[in-house]
Structure 1
Amino acid sequence: MRAYRIAYDGTAYRGFQRQPHGETVEDALLDALRSLDVLEAGEDTPPGYAAAGRTDAGVSALAQTVAFEAPDWLTPRALNGELPADVRAWASAEVPREFHATHDARSRTYAYHLHAPKAAERLARAVAERLSGEHDFHNLTSDDDGTSRHLRASATREGSFLTCHFRAGGFPRGFVRRAVRLIEAVATGDRSMKFVDRVLAPEPLAGPDGVGAAPPGPLVLLSVTYGIGFAVDERAAASAREVFGSRRATASARSRAMGMLADGV
């Protein structure tokens, strides 16, 4: 069994996990394995296959992790030879045969880059601190069960952005983007700190009192920990840096162009 670290720009995908409609990161990964003859005829996935978790449409990842029974020659750089440019393998590790990329994960960390130049960092940090610890987050997810989690959250000012980090063993569906929206609402004065207590209360929120989700684009699955060491494939990592560096430059140039429009109207 081998585990792989996968980075991807989620902009063009309907999320990580396969679904009936729309291209996903998992589709791209499994298509690559078919092209490399790692998947045998009639197989949907290779033996032992599992991923660290799903990400929503538009969400990116630095360290999504997949594991399966792989041939010795299947290095990250070999896998990249059949992957699209916006999906890059960059490290791998030999793991026990019983390893499961979903269930064996010790923690997952997400980072969200919230553009909020007028938000109060002090209030953002206060919300993150209030959310940290053991809570039932049923008002910040569409899930009906598995909503109690032990969370570590933080928010720090970086220029015009608030960078919000969330770490837990796992997350209910849609939790991170709703937590970001809650932080934004309080930090910009739309809601008070008392509302955070209401969100964490046992009674459900509905209608206009509910907390919506922040957009997916600024969200990144930053890390998944297992207690095992991954070896970086330097050539594969260089390819990833080149691809994502080029995309960063393109996005920065477009941001400046949009700024010219906004400032000139």
Structure 2
Amino acid sequence: MAGHSKWSNIKHRKGAQDAKRAKVFTRLGKELTIAAKEAGGDPGFNPRLRLAIEKAKAANMPKDNLERAIKKGTGELEGVDYMEIRYEGYGPAGTAFIVEVVTDNKNRSASEVRAAFSKRGGNLGTDGAVAWMFQKKGEIIVPSEGIDYDEFMMAALEAGADDVIEEDGEFTVYTEYTECNNVAEELKKAGFTVTEAEVAMIPDNKVAITDLDTAKKVMALYEALDDLDDVNDVYSNFDISDELLEQL
């Protein structure tokens, strides 16, 4: 998508359509469990877990659910052995998709992702098929109202950011993915409001979608993939204009 704001609009639109809070909590729970299993249950020494906790709190995930998910990762409670898998493929109009899956059944996930691609004008590729078109980056969102761009840019760079883009009332701060949480914390200390901080796959270039029919096909594939229970996140390089988004 062309900038975080439009991507957020897609996700907010999707969320308004299905309102599946339970599914959101399930995804967050998986991330908490994996992060805790990977590097322990202390967020002070586990940046990935720290980010996951912040996202869970921002989504108003119940404290009991959050703590239970972490304990499953540390082994204090019995839990499922999740695997993280990445699938890559192509969609309509030459668009590229990266699908990140967290699953306890690799065969089920592969079958469902392949079916979603094939039924909606896309095709599942091999490992590395489209990943070279993306960069793994930290992405931090800060509301820009009342803040001078140049002053914020200087503060963000001092905090360790690589770049800042202003669009639709927001600053999108890009960082090295390993530094996302540290930069977000420094921006908070500097007095800025951080509304989101996450590691994402950012496309180097975007495919402009200029007609409604193609926009519908691309969004149908995106939503079909995002609807799958095992899918944790979907990234793509399509760029749909605001005018077309309003017609979807």
TM-score (norm 2): 0.36
TM-score (norm 1): 0.34
Query: Which structure's CA Rg is the greater one?
Result: 1
More helix by percentage: 2
